[in-house]
Structure 1
Amino acid sequence: MGVAQTLTAWPHAEHSRFVSVRPHVWHVQEMGEGETVLLLHGASGSTHSWRDVMTDLAKDHHVIAIDLPGHGFTKLGSRHRSSLPLMAQDLQSLIDDQGWQLKAVLAHSAGAALALRLLQETGSNTPLIGVNPALTPFKGIAGVLFPMAARVVAMSPLMTNMIKRRMSGPEQVISLMSTTGSNISAEGLDLYARLFRNKDHVDGTLMMMAQWKLDGLMADLPRIEVPCVFLVGEKDKAVSPKSVKDVAARMPHATVTSYEGYGHLLHEEAPGLVADHVRDVLRK
């Protein structure tokens, strides 16, 4: 099935377009008018995870959601540009090309690390609202073995196909989503299953995991002047709520708001709550 056919049944497909800014061909969704808010998903996600947040925010804002390089419908132009600094450079090129004047960035999980690096590099005071931000490296030997394993798998098309088959079945998707600590809708589960059946998406996710290093960002935390609001689901099993609070304590302008009963996919479980937080930040 081609991209156009697949997009036809994708959330907000009527707001989708493709933008070629070297080295990638970006999938972009835009809606609404007003102050511009950029939405960045996390590793293995796509614009679909923001579908309800976008509808809410677009009532009074200009909302932009993108698929990160190699994810969703964004075509990865280089297999060697999935690291944090290079992805931030490529995202800035897209922003410059489109002339977007960002008033806030809303980012989930690894997308928050990307947003933080992006805003830090430009010296921007644009606020970041991070949903369960993944800002710390894996601990201990996992920090060495996990990226190494992802790198080995990403080099083998056969292994990528095997992972795709093992991740995309209904039972496997339900099991995988349970590791987030979130309860999402049947529609959400189906959308993730469709993503995981996409070989390019799985490959792009593995490339990002293989190249993702946060040591430099961690070292910079005390000097990052970006105003940050971190929203934490206390049931998050993917990113420790304590790690987020520890990171915020090292930053000069970061606060944490915690919510009982929600997991890693807080923005899919409570989109209205997240959208209202963005509004609160922009009103200040």
Structure 2
Amino acid sequence: MNALDLPKFWPNRQYSQFISVDGVEWHVQTRGVGPAVLMIHGTGASSHSWAALADKLADRFTLVMPDLPGQGFSSALPPEEVCIEGFARRLQGLLQALGIRPKLLVGHSAGAVIATHLTLHAQFSPAAIISINGAFLPFGSAAAPVFNRLAQWLSKSRLLAYVTAAHGLFNRPVRNMLVETGSNPSAQMMQCYRELISRPDHVTGTLKMMAGWDLGNQRQLLPSLRTPLHLIACSNDRTVSPWQSERLSEFVACSKLYKIPDLGHLGHEEDPAPFADIIQATL
């Protein structure tokens, strides 16, 4: 696949490239000038999620915006690597191949978890991590194993992926899904998510990511984090409750909590301005 194969409406399409690293074909967008910022999207999204925020930051930062393996237009990881450690390790390999050492890490939802894992285990030390509605805490000791087993079962069904993809062609289900996160999606974002959900490989990759998501070890390591962690919580987030960021700020010493009113889980897509201000202020 190459950039010409992307949908013509795809945001920042002109900045897209495809690069193969250790058997994974990455779709990554690189845009802007200045210190490098790695931007890691959440589960079920892709680099398109950063489009509005990139418009605000590209004159001050070099933005590196990959699709995580198995999602968007990047190829999948081997099954045994579909976990927090696997995504982080492969991202580090991508950065090495690109010759980039990011000054900042920005992660949305599950992407924030990957960002902290990269910092705790990788060979570079960013100046700061910015978490946007970070999904750092498990559903609970009772619910988490049930959720993981269900996701594991669903991820093995290609029939489900094709049925979901066919369902994704219709406007209303996609809009309902996004509204349920507490956000008000733009027409462009709806078009992007509709495209992603119409792709069986993306649906399968998303389910496999959910199935392999084990936060137990990560939670134990977070108190040892020494890189400043900026926790942004949107008050209307119905996917990851704001209390997760509030609670995390209590046991990570070098953290700072920001509360943004009215916006939902996809707040950076709805209104990028307050997020851009926080990111710029970190440097």
TM-score scaled to structure 1, two decimals? 0.95
Q: Which residue of 2 aligns with 1:258?
A: 259
- Structure-to-structure mapping, 1:1-284, within 5 angstroms: 4-122=4-122, 124-282=125-283
Does the Cα contact within 8 Å between 1:233 and 1:264 map onto a contact in 2?
Answer: yes
2:34 maps to amino acid = G
Any unmatched runs of 5+ in structure 2?
A: none
Q: Determine helix, strand or coil for the equivalent of 1:187.
A: helix
Aligned partners of 2:168, 2:247: CA distance in 1, in Å? 32
Does the Cα contact within 8 Å between 1:125 and 1:227 map onto a contact in 2?
Answer: no
Aligned partners of 2:31, 2:264: CA distance in 1, in Å? 27
**RMSD of the TM alignment (CA)?**
1.6
Aligned partners of 1:169, 1:55: CA distance in 2, in Å? 29
2:138 maps to amino acid = P
Aligned partners of 1:182, 1:265: CA distance in 2, in Å? 6
Aligned partners of 1:146, 1:249: CA distance in 2, in Å? 27
Identity in percent: 32
Deviations 1:109-163 (A, max 9, x none): 0000000000111262431111101101112433112111111111121122122
Deviations 1:163-202 (A, max 9, x none): 2233442111111112111112111111111110011111
1:102 maps to amino acid = P
What stretches of structure 1 move > 6 A for 4+ residues in a row?
none
Deviations 1:38-71 (A, max 9, x none): 1110000001110011121111211110100111
- Count of aligned residue pairs for this structure pair: 282
Aligned partners of 1:173, 1:244: CA distance in 2, in Å? 27
* CA positional deviation for 1:7: 3.8
* CA positional deviation for 1:224: 1.4
Moved more, 67-76 or 79-88: 79-88
Moved more, 120-129 or 152-161: 120-129
Aligned partners of 2:98, 2:6: CA distance in 1, in Å? 25
Deviations 1:188-222 (A, max 9, x none): 11111111001111111011011110100111121
TM-score scaled to structure 2, two decimals? 0.95
* CA positional deviation for 1:24: 1.1
Deviations 1:20-40 (A, max 9, x none): 111311111011111111111
Aligned partners of 1:266, 1:22: CA distance in 2, in Å? 34
Structure 2 vs 1, CA of residues 126 and 168 (structure 1 numbering), >3 Å: closer, same or farther? farther
Aligned partners of 2:155, 2:205: CA distance in 1, in Å? 8
Does the Cα contact within 8 Å between 1:3 and 1:73 map onto a contact in 2?
Answer: no
Aligned partners of 1:78, 1:126: CA distance in 2, in Å? 32
Does the Cα contact within 8 Å between 2:102 and 2:126 map onto a contact in 1?
Answer: no
Aligned partners of 1:215, 1:168: CA distance in 2, in Å? 36
Aligned partners of 1:147, 1:161: CA distance in 2, in Å? 21
2:41 maps to amino acid = H
2:198 maps to amino acid = R
Aligned partners of 2:77, 2:222: CA distance in 1, in Å? 30
Q: Determine helix, strand or coil for the equivalent of 2:223.
A: helix
Does the Cα contact within 8 Å between 1:119 and 1:126 map onto a contact in 2?
Answer: no
Aligned partners of 2:116, 2:208: CA distance in 1, in Å? 20
Aligned partners of 1:4, 1:81: CA distance in 2, in Å? 29
Aligned partners of 2:90, 2:48: CA distance in 1, in Å? 21
Deviations 1:233-282 (A, max 9, x none): 10000001011110121101111100111111111111122112111001
Moved more, 114-123 or 234-243: 114-123
Moved more, 79-88 or 38-47: 79-88
Q: Determine helix, strand or coil for the equivalent of 1:8.
A: coil
Aligned partners of 2:257, 2:230: CA distance in 1, in Å? 6
